[in-house]
Structure 1
Amino acid sequence: MRMRARAALASSPVLLLLLLLVGGCAGAVYKVGDLDAWGVPPPSKPDVYKRWAKSIHFALGDSIWFLYPPSQDSVLQLAPEAFASCDLSRPVARLADGNSFFNLTAPGRAYYASGAPGHCRKGQKLWVDVPMANGTYLQPSATDLAALAPTPAADPPAGTASAPEGASASPAPRAAAAGSVVALCFALQILL
């Protein structure tokens, strides 16, 4: 059936272009947490995201997909220092559509956390290591190593820097555009 669908698509110039686009969508898409949606980890699985990230060998061009209720959460890409302290005030990128994709386009470590108040400190955060094109990993910097220190469990006292509830930083254009391309590639791969 797929072969007939591809033959039919190839007869249309627009659909042929879409078929060629799918060929450029070689990276894998990984749903963060697998069966667990993006949310505060339950007490029975406090390290669900750490275990999930360690179970996957990411590659350049792969994407990670965060699925969550958009009215209740968001995903922030953070700098290492902000990740370590759960400082959500200046994210690198913020997506809040409930179906967020981030492309892994650079080797090294990438950091993500929930944008909902208090969730990062409750363990709703994730870091992934992306190898270079030759499959080797970059040596973690001192900042990267410090970012992996345990996060203080309590929320900071009133008056300290954290993102106010409902605050919205504009996502980096690359993250938003990358999410659209990944979603299109993902949909086309399913159809074809």
Structure 2
Amino acid sequence: MARVALVGVAIIAALCIQHSWAVQYDVGGSQGWEATTDFKTWVSGKQFKVGDTLVFKYGSLHTLDEVDKAGYDSCSTANAISSASDGNTVVKLTTAGKRYFICGTAGHCPGGMKLEVDSLAALATAPVAPPALAPSVGAPTIPSSPTPSDGAPTSATISPSSPSDSAPSAAKIPSSGAAVPSTSRTSPSPAGSPSQRNGATVNGISGVALAGAAMVAFLML
């Protein structure tokens, strides 16, 4: 749709340019289509082209007859192409080439009331090429974060294994032949106690404390 609209605009612009170049000529200038006008001088230096307009203004004593080359040379309206007597005749130059006009009133054409117009072809207007449509540039697609599939491995939850409910007994330390009995007691923690919930870290600290207590007791013996 955008390309069709651009072509339409280009065509309208070309027509407007051609129309703006068209010129309207008042034949004979301020004197008009009259017997006293020097039409050879008036037409000299003018360059008529297709699309221009000739306006003939004259009184009731005159007519406007378009004739061929033979009628122009002989001032004869016998084979006139067209005739007008309205006093304000507009003639549009629609084709390139020569056109001939005379006054049909007796004696006026031989007296110089005649006009030869040579129309040139209108300047060719180069077609206006519509501008190329730029490819549509959309916003860059931002890839979404991959969603782990149902089969993707999830983070493993590491639960420390529960240590034995029984605290380790103190190691036997050899002395002068006598074995020192263990002074540690096994104090099982009830299910759900804080020691079980805290895991291996709490039980490890308890074991170290018991071992230290056994060492102190041995030294005091």
Question: TM-score scaled to structure 2, two decimals?
Answer: 0.46
Q: Does 1:132 align with 2:132?
A: no
1:28 is aligned to 23
**Which amino acid in structure 2 is aligned with residue 92 of structure 1?**
I
Larger fraction in helix? 1
- Once the 2 structures are TM-superposed, how far is the Cα of residue 117 of structure 1 from its aligned partner? 1.3
- The answer to whether the aligner puts 1:62 opposite 2:29 as a matched pair is no
In structure 2, C-alpha distance between the alignment counterparts of 1:106 and 1:65, rounded to whole Å: 17
From 48, 51, 68, give the equivalent of 2:41: 51
Secondary structure of 1:82 counterpart? helix
Contact 2:51/2:122 (<8 A) preserved: no
Per the alignment, residue 61 of structure 2 pairs with 72
Measured after TM superposition, the shift of residue 53 of structure 1 is: 1.2
Q: Secondary structure at the match of 1:83?
A: helix
Higher relative contact order (CA 8 A, sep 6+): 1
Cα distance in structure 2, aligned partners of 1:25 and 1:91: 30
CA distance in 2, matches of 1:50, 1:36: 14
SS at match of 1:94: strand
Q: How many angstroms does 1:89 deviate by?
A: 1.5
Cα separation, 1, equivalents of 2:116 and 2:72: 9
Corresponding residue SS for 1:122: coil
Secondary structure of residue in 2 paired with 1:90: coil
The one of 34, 37, 40 equivalent to 1:39 is 34
Deviation string, structure 1 residues 43-77 (Cα, Å, up to 9, x no partner): xxxxx1112112321111101111011x2111011
Unpaired runs of 5+ in structure 1? Answer: 1-22, 43-47, 136-192
1:121 is paired with a residue of what secondary structure?
A: coil
- Rounded Cα–Cα distance in structure 2 between residues aligned with 1:98 and 1:56: 23
Q: Is the 8 A contact 2:35 2:111 kept in 1?
A: yes
Q: Please tell me whether Structure 1 or Structure 2 has the larger radius of gyration of its CA atoms.
A: 2
Q: Which amino acid aligns with 1:83?
A: Y
CA RMSD, aligned part only? Answer: 2.3
User: What percentage of residue pairs aligned between the two structures are identical?
Assistant: 29
Residue 25 of structure 1, CA deviation: 5.0
1:100 partnered with 2:89: yes
